[in-house]
Structure 1
Amino acid sequence: MRTAFFVDGYNLFYGLLAGTPYKWLDLRSLLTHITFIENPQSSIVSIDYFTSPIKPQLATRGRVSKEAQDAYIRALRASKVAVHFGRHQLEPAKAPRFVDKNTHASRQDKVDIWKLEEKETDVHIAISMYRTACQQVLFAMEERVEQLVLVSSDTDITPALRAIRADFPHLIVGVILPHRAGLNRPTPGSLKDHSHWLRRVITAEELLLNQFPNRVPTHKKPAIKPDYW
């Protein structure tokens, strides 16, 4: 089954990889493993990875965090993963003041904050999935994608899944939630309702067994795993 993947990089990082020693993830290898379990006849046609460039001034490690992201992007591209960038938007905003866990938020007691949002990623994923479904009529039957798989737990993409299921009933739609085993996170019902199958968790063993080598050859200088990863 010819399969195209659409990966929400921000969701993948914070849902699955942050705080673990598995950030140097070989995404193609992991997705090959998971889809083989779901259907041994699956084959990867494409992997599209959507993210936004880190703002060094807001990152935990500053410029080092940006360099780590750059190295990982180069490793992904070397493994034939297409990378698409959105953007981060930083703007002043107001939010309810935090007093303590026992005090409810109040709209009458707000403080000034900086609000950081990732922009364009959700829409880009949704449009890319739908366009991929539309474009299959341009190919010979043996070259057509038969399955679209979303790697995200973001329910903002639900309308795209619903539309694809309605307009292209011959396509299989799968969802892989970037959730670590043992965290007991709830399954987004809307993603489950509009997919043919859904993978709920990814184990630490699967992450461990699907890592890039510390040094990944590229067309230019190699991508080297960051020391603190």
Structure 2
Amino acid sequence: MANVIAYVDGFNLYHGLRERFQHRYLWLDLHTLAQRLRPRDRIVAVRYFTAAVRNDPPAEARQHTYLEALKAHCGNTLEVVLGRYQAKSRSCRGCGATWIAYEEKETDVNIAVTLVADAAAGSADIALLVSADSDLCPAVRQARAVAAQFGHKLGMVAAFPPRRNSNELKSLIPASFQLSQANIRNSLLPTTVTDGSTGRTYTRPPKWY
């Protein structure tokens, strides 16, 4: 039985789920998903990389509920690593209209730094990367090199979110595959999650059905 750490690219996963299934699978239990993908191994940690939504109170509330439900349900195995959204001014070349859009920042860097640090520490036998972001290729190479330098063996597996693919990652990680609808569908959180330490409850947002 191998020890596995899952590195979940929240931005990549969220948009893949939205494009393929709309909102129905956003209430996703990341630990259960990782365990379904590696049923014979031990999931020692799930590191979830995301960024806090800005200037959209309903979306902020849904995200907050989800993160708190995840923490309550997954316990100490879950670590949420937050990047940020950066405001950028956009304009239409045709009509001249301007607006503010938000661009997600730091997620790939946070994944890379954490992956390499875990490789150096020998924290796991297998790194399960839930992402299809080719920007992570240098981190994969470096993590392998660092693990070898410190005398650790590090296996790599990549699970691509729906409608996401990376030939570059596939070339680096032959054990790459697409997340199946069955694995996603069977890895949802309970409709209501109760935090055993505080008694607080978190319910799946109505929009996420």
Given that 1:172 and 1:196 are in contact with CA atoms closer than 8 Å, whether structure 2 keeps it comes out as no
Given that 2:119 and 2:144 are in contact with CA atoms closer than 8 Å, whether structure 1 keeps it comes out as no
Report the RMSD for the aligned CA atoms in angstroms: 2.1
CA distance 1:93–1:20, shift in 2 (3 Å): closer
1:23 aligns with 2:30: no
Amino acid at match of 1:10: F
Aligned to 1:92: 89
CA distance in 1, matches of 2:68, 2:139: 29
1:1-229 aligned within 5 A: 1-17=2-18, 19-36=22-39, 40=40, 42-55=41-54, 57=55, 62-78=56-72, 79-80=74-75, 81-93=78-90, 112-136=98-122, 144-169=123-148, 170-179=153-162, 185=163, 187-203=165-181, 205-218=182-195, 219-220=197-198, 221-229=200-208
Gapped regions of structure 1 (runs ≥ 5): 99-109, 137-143, 180-184
> Where has structure 1 moved over 6 Å in runs of 4 or more?
none
Which structure features the higher share of helix residues?
Answer: 2
Shift of 1:225: 0.9
Given that 1:6 and 1:150 are in contact with CA atoms closer than 8 Å, whether structure 2 keeps it comes out as yes
Amino acid at match of 1:67: A
What secondary structure is seen at the aligned counterpart in 2 of 1:75?
A: helix
Amino acid at match of 1:15: G
Shift of 1:195: 1.6
Higher Rg:
1
Q: Percent identity?
A: 29
TM-score (norm 2): 0.85
TM-score (norm 1): 0.78
Shift of 1:166: 3.1
